[in-house]
């Protein structure tokens, strides 16, 4: 698509042009209908069919004016991807013509085939009925491509019996749960104006770009999203010259079009830069409410891929596309705010807001400590297993970074001190009515921490780059909601709120401060220290997912009416199956490439070397190098043949394992190690086979050509 000249068309005229935002609704809807929609968005009223009819008519006219012929209910099934079924606006008139219609009923509800999506046993194959329901908290938008324009309506996806078949329903329920408990706490603190608490998210998206011509020559990239084989080039990221470096012209053109496409649909893409690894980049938007942020991030990932292809590139969203090179995450910047504009993690400018901040911050510390396994499980994928614990990502140990000054304040409270000197300077007196204002930047930033406080929000850095952010935010919301519920219970039973707040902060932080760590999370010393503190360190996805079916998890989610036992069990089965299927594909690709591509190419090159050695001998030239090299290649090829056969055997055994957990364990414990052995041999061959004889592009081309 053509690039826009921002000198002639300002960004302000582009932003939101393809988004059916509140601003568009305010302009086009009758005033009374617009007020009703705002009330529905705030959770104060239920959407009626009469209101939906008016909105649908206006939405249809707006979309058709912009060239739309179809609409779709956009939803997030448990595949982790976005699904859509397109319907035309047309309605036959009976005389061979059509009208362009879109009813309130069609806006509110759709009916995709529920049996074709993973349900983990919630639905049988023959039980096909499922419903999509309009999510009024996330704006509709227009998706444009060279083939046409489609109206996209964000929705939730449920079964015939109301079970959640997607990632949006639990997210929305978790936001309600967190709001309910947070408002209870605020009421005890004297806040009578705030009616609702929202969670906001700003997901920083990391990704790689590779030349499409090279990508098309790598079956492993095409089928798995990562390189199954590959040797690091002489130069990688060790010079640290790519991070924040000047953006290449080809990439800049891509980013310019990417921003334009995102701005059109109302996604506030703000920051872009080169990341640490060669050909790695990052995009960061401004915060949105969690529901809209989840939908926006799904659209960001799709747009990244589409725009990259238009520029002759492919976008890689896998967490670790290149072994030995930094992988990609999705830093989930999470915060809580009221409907009247109070950020609950802002230290504020007066004693009252400080007490509120300390109480809510303490709740997060306790939640992260108590529910560390749940938070770890929310990011458990096969792709993230390659990344967590490496140099660019936090370890699998869940901890919180506060920084020196804020940690000292909490330590003083926990130790019962009435005052103390903070590193930031000034005397900190502990007491609701006597707390001084705290500086906004009460800490440095710590990129090695999985959960870091960064001024007025928490940055959850463990989320994988290809993940939907819905599940991590759902689990986080529920964990914090539970702690706030317990805080509220205590505060509601006492008449002396000041003393109660101090006591709660003191007791909670003293008990859970073990999870606070301000040092380097990449070091072996921290792993040993975390073990000494009793912090869990679950290093793989298979073990991490077991938390979903534990009784305490079921009680937690059922207590807050977010997920039932059956819905949690279904997710456990789906995520384990997805893990096994991903490794199964990767192992299959490894076998195919090794046998049908690498082995023949290496043998052919060894034969050429042997021929060269014979030719040299025939003319009396003395050189044993070609012969030795050919012999070494033949030896490695023999080992590769045996190792590939072993991989095929363990893969077949894993495929025949019936139980979903046993199968996932087989893939993790047997198939993956066998794959690594095969890779060792293939990578050894790549090092000694001539570059022109190697059958596919190597890391040097993939990482440095753009």
CA distance 677 to 288: 45
Query: 583: part of which helix (H) or strand (E)?
Result: helix 565-593
Residue 142 β-bridge partners = 151
Range of lowest pLDDT (173-187, 369-383, 418-432): 418-432
Rounded Cα distance, 639 and 671, in Å? 17
Residue 446 has pLDDT above 80, yes or no: no
Lowest mean pLDDT among 59-63, 247-251, 394-398, 701-705: 394-398
Provide DSSP, 28-95.
Answer: HS-HHHHHHHHHHHTTSSPPPHHHHHHHHHHHHHHHHHTTEEEEEEEB-BTTSS-B--EEESEEE-SS
Please determine, for residue 626, whether its predicted confidence score (pLDDT) is greater than 90: no
How high is the pLDDT of residue 614? Answer: 73
Residue 433 pLDDT exceeds 50: no
Mean pLDDT confidence for 108-122: 76
> Can you tell me the distance from the alpha carbon of 349 to that of 435, in angstroms, rounded to the nearest whole number?
10
CA 252/CA 426 separation, integer angstroms: 46
Q: Which domains does the chain have, with CATH numbers?
A: 11-166 (3.10.20.70), 175-563 (3.30.590.10), 576-704 (1.20.120.1560)
DSSP per residue over 179-232, as a string? Answer: HHHHHHHHHHTT--S---EEEEEEEEEEEEEEEHHHHTT-HHHHHHSS-SS---
386: left (phi over 0), alpha (psi -120 to 50) or beta: alpha
CA 505 to chain centre: 31
Buried b (16+ CB within 10 A) or exposed e, 390-429: bebbbbbbbbbbbbebbbbbbbbbbeeeeeeebebeeebe
Of residues 127 and 187, the one with the higher pLDDT is 187
Query: How far from each other are the two terminal CA atoms of the chain, in whole angstroms?
Result: 20
Q: What is the pLDDT of residues 189-214, one digit of tens each?
A: 999 999 999 999 999 999 999 999 99
Among 338-352, 429-443, 476-490, 492-506, the minimum mean pLDDT is found in 429-443
- Listing DSSP states for 157-168 in one string gives EEETTS-B-BSH
Residues 6 or more apart in contact with residue 587 via CB below 8 angstroms: 647, 651, 667, 671, 674, 675
pLDDT for 302: 96
Q: What is the CA radius of gyration of the chain?
A: 28
The string of DSSP codes covering 401-451 is: E--HHHHHHHHHHHTT-SEEE-TTSSEEE-STTTPPP--S--S---TT-SE
pLDDT band of residue 428 (cuts 50, 70, 90) is very low
DSSP 449-511: -SEEE-SSSEEETT-BTTS-SHHHHHHHHHHHHHHHHHHHHHHHT-S-HHHHHHHHHHHHHHH
Where is average pLDDT lowest: 516-525, 641-650, 694-703? 516-525
In terms of pLDDT, which residue wins out, 405 or 540?
540
What contacts 513, CB < 8 A, 6 or more positions away?
Answer: 365, 410, 411, 414
User: What span, in angstroms and rounded, lies between the C-alpha atoms of 405 and 549?
Assistant: 39
Secondary structure of residue 233 in the 3-state scheme = coil
Of residues 21 and 609, which shows the higher confidence score?
Answer: 21
> Which is higher by pLDDT, 123 or 315?
315
pLDDT-wise least confident of 56-70, 245-259, 405-419: 405-419
How sure is the predictor about 425, in pLDDT bands with cuts at 50, 70 and 90? very low
Please say if the pLDDT value at position 116 is more than 80.
no
SS3 assignment, position 559: helix
CA dihedral 206, 208, 212, 215 (to 10 degrees): -120
Beta-bridge mates of residue 452: 401, 459
CB burial of residue 439 (10 Å; 0-12, 13-18, 19+): middle
Task: Evaluate if residue 521 carries a pLDDT over 90.
Answer: no
CA-based max dimension of the chain: 103
User: 642: pLDDT confidence band, cut at 50, 70 and 90?
Assistant: very high
Which of 380-389, 413-422, 634-643 shows the lowest per-residue confidence on average (mean pLDDT)? 413-422
Higher pLDDT residue, 17 or 158? 17
> 439 pLDDT exceeds 60?
no
Res 404: pLDDT:
81
- Within a 10 A sphere around the Cβ of 363, how many other Cβ atoms? 28
Name which of 203, 208, 201 is nearest 284 in CA terms: 203
Q: Which helix (H) or strand (E) holds 145?
A: strand 140-145
pLDDT, averaged across the chain = 89
Look at residue 652 in the predicted model and tell me its pLDDT.
97
Residues 451/458, Cβ–Cβ less than 8 Å: yes
At 52, the pLDDT band (50, 70, 90 cuts) reads: very high
Query: Higher-confidence residue: 622 or 42?
Result: 42
User: Is a pLDDT exceeding 90 seen at residue 389?
Assistant: no
Q: Which DSSP letter does residue 248 get? A: P
Report d(CA 557, CA 478) in Å as an integer: 7
Q: Measure the CA–CA gap between 683 and 674, rounded to whole angstroms.
A: 14
User: Is the pLDDT reported for residue 253 higher than 70?
Assistant: yes
pLDDT digits (tens, 9 = 90+) for 267-295: 999 999 998 889 999 999 999 999 999 99
Average pLDDT on 503-520 reads 94
Half-sphere exposure of 191 (CA within 13 A, CB side): 21
Q: Give the range among 83-97, 277-291, 385-399, 641-655 with minimum mean pLDDT.
A: 385-399
* Per-residue model confidence (pLDDT) at position 66: 95
Average pLDDT score over residue span 389-413: 80
Percent of the chain with pLDDT over 90: 68
């Amino acid at each position: 698509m053509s690039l826009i000249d921002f000198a002639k068309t300002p960004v302000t005229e582009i932003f939101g042009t393809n988004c059916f935002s509140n601003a568009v609704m305010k302009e086009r809807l009758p005033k009374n209908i617009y007020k009703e929609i705002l009330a529905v968005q705030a959770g104060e009223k239920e959407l009626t069919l009469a209101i939906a009819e008016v909105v649908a008519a206006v939405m249809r006219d707006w979309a058709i004016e912009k060239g739309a012929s179809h609409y779709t209910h956009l939803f997030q099934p448990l595949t982790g991807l976005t699904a859509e079924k397109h319907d035309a606006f047309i309605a036959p008139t009976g005389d061979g013509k059509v009208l362009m219609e879109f009813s309130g009923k069609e806006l509110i509800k759709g009916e995709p085939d529920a049996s074709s999506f993973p349900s983990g046993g919630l639905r049988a194959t023959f039980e096909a009925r499922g419903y999509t329901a309009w999510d009024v908290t996330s704006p509709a938008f227009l998706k444009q491509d060279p083939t046409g324009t489609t109206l996209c309506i964000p929705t939730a996806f449920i079964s015939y019996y109301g079970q959640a078949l997607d990632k949006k329903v639990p997210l929305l329920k978790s936001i309600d749960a967190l709001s309910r408990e947070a408002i209870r706490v605020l009421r005890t603190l004297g806040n009578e104006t705030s009616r609702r608490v929202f969670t906001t998210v700003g997901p920083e998206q990391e990704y790689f770009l590779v030349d499409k011509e090279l990508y098309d020559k790598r079956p492993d990239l095409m089928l798995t999203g990562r390189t199954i084989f590959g040797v690091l080039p002489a130069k990688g990221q060790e010079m640290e010259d790519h991070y924040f470096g000047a953006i290449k012209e080809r990439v800049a053109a891509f980013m310019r079009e990417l921003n334009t496409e995102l701005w059109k649909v109302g996604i506030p893409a703000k920051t872009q830069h080169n990341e640490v690894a060669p050909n790695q980049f990052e995009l960061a938007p401004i915060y949105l409410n969690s529901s809209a942020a989840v939908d926006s991030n799904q659209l960001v990932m799709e747009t990244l891929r589409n725009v990259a292809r238009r520029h002759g590139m492919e976008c890689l969203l896998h967490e670790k596309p290149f072994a030995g090179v930094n992988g990609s995450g999705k830093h989930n910047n999470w915060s809580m705010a009221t409907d009247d504009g109070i950020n609950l993690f802002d230290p504020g400018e007066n004693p009252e807001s400080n007490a509120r901040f300390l109480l809510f911050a303490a709740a997060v510390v306790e939640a992260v400590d108590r529910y560390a396994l749940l938070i770890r499980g929310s990011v458990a994928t096969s792709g993230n297993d390659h990344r967590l614990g490496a140099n660019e990502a936090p370890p699998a140990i869940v901890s919180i970074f506060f920084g020196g000054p804020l940690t000292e304040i909490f330590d003083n409270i926990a130790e019962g001190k009435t005052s103390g000197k903070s590193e930031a300077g000034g005397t900190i007196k502990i007491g609701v009515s006597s707390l001084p204002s705290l500086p906004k930047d009460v800490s440095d930033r710590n990129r090695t921490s999985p959960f870091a406080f960064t001024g007025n929000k928490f940055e959850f850095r463990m989320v994988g780059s290809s993940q939907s952010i819905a599940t991590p935010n759902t689990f986080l919301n529920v964990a914090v909601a539970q702690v706030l519920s317990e805080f509220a219970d205590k505060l509601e039973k006492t008449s002396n709120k000041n003393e109660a707040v101090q006591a709660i902060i003191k007791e909670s932080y003293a008990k859970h401060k073990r999870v606070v760590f301000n040092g380097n999370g990449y070091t072996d010393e921290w792993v040993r220290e975390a073990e000494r503190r009793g912090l869990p360190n679950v290093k793989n996805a298979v073990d991490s997912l077991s938390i979903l079916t534990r009784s305490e998890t079921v009680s937690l989610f059922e207590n807050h009416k977010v997920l039932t036992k059956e819905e949690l069990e279904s997710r456990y089965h789906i995520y384990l199956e997805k893990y096994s299927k991903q490794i199964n594909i990767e192992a299959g690709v490894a076998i195919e490439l090794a046998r049908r591509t690498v082995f023949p190419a290496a043998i052919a090159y060894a034969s050429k070397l042997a021929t060269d050695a014979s030719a040299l001998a025939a003319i009396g030239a003395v050189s044993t190098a070609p012969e030795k090299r050919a012999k070494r290649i033949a030896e490695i090829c023999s080992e590769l043949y045996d190792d590939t056969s072993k991989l095929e055997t363990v893969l077949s055994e894993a495929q025949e394992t019936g139980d979903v957990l046993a199968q996932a364990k087989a893939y993790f414990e047997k198939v993956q190690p066998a794959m690594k052995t095969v890779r060792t041999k293939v990578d050894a061959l790549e090092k000694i086979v001539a570059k022109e004889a190697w059958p596919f592009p190597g890391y040097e081309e993939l990482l440095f050509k753009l």
